């Protein structure tokens, strides 16, 4: 399953009401490090199917969500479990580091 595009319209359903942890990748198309992390995020979405969800939030299009998570630099990665942020990392990370954030 590919990473889900998260918007303010589907945020509650896909993230807050999720039965599994959700890794959120806050990114923008013009961000070089974001483009480096993007393929790893997609790989994780495939590898963790059924165990976790992976969502991508374009900060240029979803300013309200970026603000709610206090995103000041991108890429920012956040894990939401049971409606609460349980991990937050700023900057490019390895696939293994992202997996560890999920604490599966």
Catalytic machinery residues: 31, 34
DSSP reduced 3-state for 2: coil
Terminal Cα-to-Cα distance of the chain (whole angstroms): 18
Question: What does 30-67 look like in DSSP terms, one character per residue?
Answer: T-HHHHHHHHHHHHHHHHTTTT-EEEEEETTT-HHHHH
């Amino acid at each position: 399953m590919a990473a889900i595009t998260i918007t303010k319209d589907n945020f509650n359903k896909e993230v807050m009401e999720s039965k599994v942890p959700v890794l959120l990748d806050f990114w923008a198309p013009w961000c070089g490090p974001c483009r480096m992390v993007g393929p790893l995020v997609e790989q994780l979405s495939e590898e963790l199917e059924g165990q976790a969800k992976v969502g991508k939030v374009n900060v240029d299009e979803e300013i309200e969500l970026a603000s709610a998570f206090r995103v000041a630099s991108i890429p920012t990665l956040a894990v939401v479990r049971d409606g609460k942020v349980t991990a937050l990392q700023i900057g490019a990370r390895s696939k293994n580091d992202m997996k560890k954030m999920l604490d599966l």
